[in-house]
Amino acid sequence: MVKHVLFCKLDEYSEENAKALVDVFMSMKGNVPCAREVFAATDFLRSGRSYDVMLEVTLDSKEALEEYQKDEYHVNVVKKYVHARVHQSATVDYEY
């Protein structure tokens, strides 16, 4: 199994903007077949080190992660939305 974890800092933070990003991430459920599980949430601490929103995607393998990165819905809907609203991100991909 593989986890893809993404942390995002919004260009313009508001609770509404953070929730909208969570909703876009969660819209991958059922729209990105290789994503076994999708979970997204907002940060409540809001410290200087915090990111605004996190995404965690569970995939079956490294090959499925490659498929996910090329998935039409992920690329044309989710990534476009993220790139238009996020100014900083960090990611971790790991096997377990």
- DSSP string computed for 23-66: HHHHTTTTTSTT-SEEEEEE-SS--TT--SEEEEEEESSHHHHH
Q: Is the pTM of this model over 0.85?
A: yes
SS3 96: coil
Amino acid at 49: R
Section 77-93 average pLDDT:
98
Structural domain boundaries in the chain = 2-95
2-95 maps to CATH 3.30.70.100? yes
pLDDT of residue 56: 98
65-84 pLDDT per residue, tens: 999 999 999 999 999 999 99
Contact predicate 28/35, CB 8 Å: yes
